[in-house]
Structure 1
Amino acid sequence: MKEEKPDPRLAAIGEKIKRLRVTKGYSSYESFAFDHGLPRVGYGRHEKGANLTMSSLLRILDIHGVGLAEFFSDLEG
């Protein structure tokens, strides 16, 4: 069975999500997820570059008050 390599664009999205969390003053993704009613395990995977649904991304961006255009403006891929 061939193992697929992770998509580097997903990793970049995960890093951006993590930066937004840290900017809000949260050192722990678990605390952030708990405080905002997000599933902790799923949120942690998103920060590590796991595939996420558009609705999950939109929910995270709404929490941060960031629009799609702003979020993707400095991502390369």
Structure 2
Amino acid sequence: MKETKKMDLRLEKIGRKLKELRLEKGYVSAEFFAWEHKIPRVQYWRMEKGTNFTMSSLLKILDAHNMTLDEFFRDL
């Protein structure tokens, strides 16, 4: 498998986990979650869709979930 494809698959897996966490917190709307946690709406939507993102963006979302990097990546 090409490296790019591997990276894409991992980003998609991270995106699915972000969406799962949002839904577990009761946020049906990604837009409302992003707005409430002061994350640019389009940026958050792209992250859930598995596009490339910065670590600072991921850390901001994990802070909203009161979650550490270890906790987030444990099941991935």
Q: Calculate the TM-score normalised by the size of structure 2.
A: 0.89
Distance 2:71 2:27 in 1: 21
Runs (4 or more) in structure 1 with deviation over 2 Å come to none
Counterpart in 2 of 1:30? Answer: 31
Distance 2:36 2:57 in 1: 16
Counterpart in 1 of 2:56? Answer: 55
Q: In the alignment, is residue 7 of structure 1 matched against residue 8 of structure 2?
A: yes
Counterpart in 1 of 2:21? Answer: 20
Is there any run of 5+ residues in structure 1 with no aligned partner, and where? none
Q: In the alignment, is residue 74 of structure 1 matched against residue 58 of structure 2?
A: no
Distance 1:44 1:18 in 2: 9
Q: Find the residue that maps to 1:65 and give its secondary structure.
A: coil
Q: Find the residue that maps to 2:51 and give its secondary structure.
A: coil
Deviation, 1:33, is 0.5
Distance 2:34 2:69 in 1: 20
Deviation, 1:36, is 1.0
